[in-house]
Every structure is written in structure tokens, then in C-alpha cells.
Amino acid sequence: MPFAFFVAGTDTEIGKTFTTCALLHTARRAGLSAIGMKPVAAGAERIGERWVNEDAARLRAAGSVDPGLDDLNPICLRTAVAPHIAAAIEGARIEPAKILDAFGRLSAQADLVLVEGVGGFRVPLTDTFDTADLAVALKLPVILVVGMRLGCINHALLTAEAIAARGLTLAGWVANQIDPAMQRVTENLDALQQHLGAPCLGHVPFQPDNDPAAVRTLVLPALTP
């Protein structure tokens, strides 16, 4: 069995894809083959004969193995809104079984698979299934990306509670500096370290160049298959 984690965020637009890519590069520098997966993406552009989501393309480029987009991003919706709304607009169905099958195929191709969620931890995918349910179905420990800005402590602690409520393990968290002008960063990091009850995998400084390969401040969680 490979190592695998579900990467969740405290909110949308907090650098979840950037952080996942940085972790993929961390794994590659450690000698592991690594694949990123974006099970559900909403918002895509036409490239050649197919629709391609930008986040999925970035994960594909960061991995050491190229499994193709059909498995890396099995549900690609064109409309850049919440996934269940995009699916309704496009007359599409988000089928968990399709995601689980794709994950199984990816798991056979690399030492590490990082499955990136969409938005925050609890985003509806259907009327009865959300991204937290997906993490449970995949049976994966969670890496939480905390967007470092005002309000991050509350968002992080609420998300950690939601992760625990689903019976999932918080394997670690990454502080991603999305607000370069945030005040009292050290104090906020100390509070998160004290209250989250999981190891900090690193603090990513603000990245104006947006190059995840340049991030050298991260460590991988304890790898337990």
C-alpha cells in the first residue's frame, strides 16, 4: 500500500493547491515517487479536445509520475462555482465510486498520493455527500492547510473539530502565509500549535513568485501506510 493523505483547507483560496504541490516536491526530494489527485474540480478551460482545471494541471506538473488527467481529476466541471451547483448547471453527476476507482489506480503508481479536496473541509458534492464524506470513504488521514490571515485560528480549530467528528486523524497542518501584511504571525502560530493537537509540517512564507518547488520549509507527516 502507498502512503496517502487527504489535503483539506480552512477555506477556499488559502493556497491548498500550492501547498499540495510543495508537499509533492518535498516527497520527491526525499526520494519518493508522488502523485497529486484532484478528485473534483469546478472551473476549467478548453485546451485542445478536453476541459482542463488549472489546479489539476498544477498537481500533474508537480508530481513525479504522470497518470493522466482522467484519474488525476476524474470529475472536472467547467463552471467555476460550488461543485454541486456546477454539476446541476451542466447536467452532470458527481459519482463517489468513480473517484474511489481512480484513487485505487493512482495508488498503484506511486509511493505517495496526496488527494486535494475542494474549498474547505465540508463542501457539498451532492445532496447527500460532501468532501468530508469523501475523506471518510477514502479512509485517509488529513493534512490541514491553514491560510494565515486574520481569523485563521477560529477557522483552523473548527475544521479540526469537524475532522475529528468524522473519525479521521489530523496527521499534520501547514501554515500558508497568504496575507503578507498579517500582524502577530508568531503569536498566531503559537496558538495554532497549542490548540490543534497535531504536528506543524511547516510555515510557508508568502510566495510572490508562486513557485511550489522553491519551498524548502516543509516536512512530510509520519508516513504510516
Instruction: List the grid coordinates of 159.
Output: 475544521
Q: Distance (Å, rounded) from C-alpha 53 to C-alpha 77?
A: 8
Q: Distance (Å, rounded) from C-alpha 4 to C-alpha 38?
A: 13
Instruction: List the grid coordinates of 1.
Output: 500500500
CB 52 within 8 A of CB 71: no
Q: How far apart are the first and last CA of the chain?
A: 6
Residue found under cell 467528528: 165
Helices 152-165 and 185-196: crossing angle in degrees, nearest 10, is 20
For the question of residue 38 being annotated catalytic, the response is yes
Q: Catalytic residues, which ones? A: 38
